[in-house]
């Protein structure tokens, strides 16, 4: 019999039965009063969850579309934009913004590190930036940007819209939109919400909404805030067909988050990630990001001498755990392990046990059982 595979890549994340049940429901008309009510409740709850006095958009698409949506609604051709990049996904904004005819300035950190709020403040003083983008967690490095401190800096620059990419963070790492001075935050359904891929979720505060209004007509159609605002406030209206079953699935995810409590959820992510990282280090691996800026949603793990990437990931997959490879300069040197969303203890133990079995199968010399022992001691 084929082994069940745990999806321990940094998204999609494992889906629980009550969420997949919603995806498997018989689809109804998007004008069905029961669906309209569900959609409306979802938007209200999402706004409460991350505390925004503004709008929340739930639109079919992925995180990359949300990146475009964020930039498109607050900038126009010829504007200056500052991209704060801590890795591969931060860099993705460069191409998006250059294609839009924006003047792009980039601040980047070596992989595993983050650009400091002081450096950002100095840069923002140089010219008038229409917007600034920061990735909360760059999935390629596992480093977490200090978005709250950057928010304090951003408040000093009223002309600049502060955009946070929360794709590998939101619903797993502490984030509050208005309290942190964030103007736009976005994520995608397949990450810490624990839903399958298919939805983008974007929160926009009053400053971002005012900027959108001031721009007049924008070239983009599907991702225009102005097109979606009437729908998000009254889902009985039509602009483009909502992803009915995905919206139900997200609603179930938010129900689960509220049942757990968002603060408890953030704490759980920290304790799961601390346990996994300690166990992994006990097995002889190294975590790329340093403790002080290490995220709690995923781990980017460097191999010890003598462990081959392709072999390791193949045997680990045979043992029932899928992980992702390293990107760019880290291809072949690291693997990426997601642990965000609805991860339970059973999954954590199974993952570490599968890594141990893999090391044994590869004939790697290490203290047998040390991974599980470390997990148990952390409990
Ligand atoms: N930003 C970050 C930080 C990401 O991790 C990802 C995807 N891994 C994206 C953006 C792009 O999201 P998607 O693959 O859903 O388009």
Predicted pLDDT of residue 379: 78
pLDDT tens track for 188-199: 999 999 999 999
Please list, in sequence order, all residues whose beta carbon lies within 8 angstroms of the beta carbon of residue 220, skipping any fewer than 6 positions away.
68, 69, 72, 73
346/74 Cα distance (integer angstroms): 44
326/251 Cα distance (integer angstroms): 33
Q: At what angle do helices 117-126 and 147-154 cross, to 10 degrees?
A: 30
Within the chain, what is the greatest distance between any pair of CA atoms? 64
**Ligand 1 centroid to residue 115 C-alpha, Å:** 20
Is pLDDT at 1 greater than 70 in this prediction? no
**Ligand 1 centroid to residue 167 C-alpha, Å:** 6
Atom of ligand 1 nearest to the CA of 62: 15
- The pLDDT of 134-163, averaged and rounded, is 98
By residue count, the chain amounts to: 379
In this prediction the pTM is 0.98
pLDDT tens track for 213-270: 999 999 999 999 999 999 999 999 999 999 999 999 999 999 999 999 999 999 999 9
Place of tokens 């010219």: 127
- The pLDDT of 307-335, averaged and rounded, is 97
Atom of ligand 1 nearest to the CA of 197: 15
- The pLDDT of 7-12, averaged and rounded, is 97
Contact 231, 239 (CB under 8 A): yes
Residue 159 host element (H or E)? none
Ligand 1 close to Cβ of residue 135 (< 6 A)? yes
- DSSP of 171-182, one letter per residue? TTB---TTTTT-
- The pLDDT of 174-195, averaged and rounded, is 98
Measured by CA distance, the residue closest to atom 14 of ligand 1 is: 63
Ligand 1 close to Cβ of residue 340 (< 6 A)? no
Is pLDDT at 85 greater than 70 in this prediction? yes
Contact 193, 201 (CB under 8 A): yes
């Amino acid at each position: 019999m084929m082994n069940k595979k745990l999806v321990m890549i940094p998204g999609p994340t494992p889906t629980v039965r009550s969420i997949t049940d919603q995806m498997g429901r018989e689809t109804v008309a998007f004008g069905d009063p029961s669906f309209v009510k569900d959609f409306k409740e979802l938007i209200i709850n999402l706004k409460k969850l991350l505390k925004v006095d503004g709008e929340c958009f739930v639109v079919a698409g992925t995180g990359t579309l949300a990146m475009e949506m964020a930039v498109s609604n607050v900038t126009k051709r010829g504007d200056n934009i500052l991209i704060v990049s801590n890795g591969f996904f931060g860099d993705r904004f460069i191409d998006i913004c250059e294609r839009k005819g924006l003047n792009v300035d980039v601040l980047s950190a070596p992989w595993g590190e983050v650009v400091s709020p002081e450096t950002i403040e100095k840069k923002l003083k140089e010219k008038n930036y229409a917007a600034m983008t920061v990735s909360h967690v760059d999935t390629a490095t596992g480093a977490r940007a200090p978005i709250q401190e950057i928010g304090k800096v951003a408040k000093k620059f009223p002309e600049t819209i502060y955009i946070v990419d929360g794709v590998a963070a939101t619903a797993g790492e502490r984030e509050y939109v208005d309290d942190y001075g964030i103007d736009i935050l976005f994520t995608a359904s397949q990450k810490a919400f624990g839903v399958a891929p298919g939805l983008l979720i974007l929160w926009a505060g009053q400053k971002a909404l005012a900027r959108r209004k001031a721009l007049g007509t924008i070239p983009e159609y599907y991702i225009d805030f102005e097109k979606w605002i009437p729908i998000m406030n009254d889902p009985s209206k039509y602009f483009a067909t909502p992803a009915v079953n995905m919206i139900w699935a997200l609603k179930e995810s938010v129900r689960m988050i509220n049942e757990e409590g968002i603060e408890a959820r953030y704490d759980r992510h920290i304790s799961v990630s601390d346990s996994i990282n300690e166990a992994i280090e006990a097995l002889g691996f190294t975590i790329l990001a340093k403790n002080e800026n290490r995220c709690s949603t995923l781990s980017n793990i460097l191999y010890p001498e003598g462990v081959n990437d392709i072999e390791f990931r193949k045997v680990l997959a045979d043992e029932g755990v899928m992980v992702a490879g390293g990107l760019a300069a880290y291809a072949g040197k690291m693997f990426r392990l997601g642990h965000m969303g609805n991860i339970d203890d059973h999954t954590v133990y199974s993952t570490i046990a599968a890594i141990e079995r893999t090391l044994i199968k590869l004939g790697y010399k290490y203290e047998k059982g040390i991974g599980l022992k470390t997990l148990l001691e952390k409990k």
